[in-house]
Structure 1
Amino acid sequence: MATSSGNTAISTSGSDGDQNPMKLDERKRKRMESNRESARRSRMRKQQHLDDLTAQIVQLRKENNQILQTINLTNQQFLNVDAQNSVLRAQMNELSQRLDSLNGIINDMNALGNLEDDLGDFSLMDGHFGNIVGYNHWDLGYLNQPIMASADALNY
């Protein structure tokens, strides 16, 4: 009986063994399909991510080119303004020197006029200046004021 119960146990396990390989094959097949589908979705996500990164590269390159163009344009404008500024500074320096020179002449003329007034008591004619004493042709009101440069003088 032990043999028959042993056989029964074996035949019971044998019949379970027959169903298990079919169930295992079915499970294995379903698992493989599931893995394939998961891998397909993963590849699709990876491709989408790659496409997004490629589009981002194109957009960033376009923005970079626009920024470079703006920088180049701004740089060119700066160089133009700097060159104009240099010209204006040179003109300003030249005009300042001319103004200083003219103001020096006015000061010298006023000093000579004051000298004529001081010498006027000693003679009627000033032989050096050729003027009649008492009349100072250098003593004009506008000569006592400094000369100011105007904006029009810069455009000569």
Structure 2
Amino acid sequence: MDCSSGISSISSGLQNSASEEELMDQRKRKRMISNRESARRSRLRKRKQLDDLITQASHLMKENQEILIGFNASTQHCLNVEAENAILRTQVAELRCQIQSLNEIVSFLSAGNGGFPAE
């Protein structure tokens, strides 16, 4: 009897050892599956972040282009206004000269005999 109970306990110990090993393998597989799923989610998050950054960069480049177009239009308008102002200043100077000439003629005519030589 002693011998059979010793074999029985060895057999039981082997079964327990096999069960523990099977349980450890099962936990290892479960952890590996969990890690793979976590890595997959991480890759998806990174891909979404990259897509979001690409979309944002595209939007900012478009906005920059619109601002640049507006800036160029404003610059051109400013140059046009400056050119028009230069023309108007020249016209003002010419008109002042004409007014001065006309005032001199009026003064000359008012000062004397109507501007005609005396006879």
- 22 and 108 in structure 1: CA distance in 2 versus 1, 3 angstrom threshold: same
Residue 56 of structure 1 is matched in structure 2 by 56
1:14 is displaced (CA, Å) by 4.6
Tell me the SS of whatever aligns to 1:130.
Answer: coil
Structure ranking higher in helix proportion: 2
Structure 2, unaligned runs of 5 or more: none
TM-score (normalizing by structure 1): 0.61
> Can you list the C-alpha shifts for 1:75-99, whole angstroms capped at 9, x where unaligned?
1122112111111111111111221
Unaligned runs of 5+ in 1: 117-127, 132-156
Distance 1:87 1:95 in 2: 12
1:102 corresponds to: 102
Larger Rg: 1
Partner letter of residue 95 of structure 1? Answer: L
CA 1:107–1:13 in 2, change beyond 3 Å: closer, same or farther? farther
Residues 44-123 of structure 1 aligned to structure 2 (within 5 Å): 44-110=44-110, 112-113=111-112
> TM-score of the superposition, structure 2-length normalised?
0.77
- The equivalent residue for 1:21 is 21
**Identical aligned residues as a percent:** 45
Match of 1:125 in 2: none
The higher relative CO (CA closer than 8 Å, separation ≥ 6) is in 1
Structure 1 consecutive aligned stretches of length 4 or more whose deviation exceeds 6 Å: none
TM-superposed CA distance for 1:73, in Å, is: 1.7
CA shift for structure 1 position 35: 0.7
